[in-house]
Amino acid sequence: MERIGEKIKAVLFAQHHSAKWLAEQIPCERTNVYDIFKRTDINVNLLKQLCVILDYDFFADLSKEVFPQKK
């Protein structure tokens, strides 16, 4: 399983955004964003917020990892 923080980082950079940009959106300190990138788990409310900010469904990715046989 890919760490959730690595997935967030990949989506962020694929959209050509920076950690500084994400920190401004959340809002938090840039160092907190780098902490998010290292996480293996994440608070559901924060993940929901990141889904909205990045317009990406991280929950769908997690569901596919947990239930790979379902469509």
For the stretch 3-50, pLDDT in tens is 999 999 999 999 999 999 999 999 999 999 999 999 999 999 999 999
**Across 60-66, average pLDDT:** 89
- The confidence score (pLDDT) of residue 39 equals 95
| pLDDT at 1 exceeding the cut of 60 | no
Confidence band of 71 (pLDDT split at 50, 70, 90): low
Residue pair 64/31 in contact (Cβ under 8 Å)? The answer is no
Q: Which residue has the tokens 């990141």?
A: 50
| Interacting residues of 30 by C-beta distance below 8 A, sequence separation 6+ | 19, 20, 23
What pLDDT sits at residue 69? 85
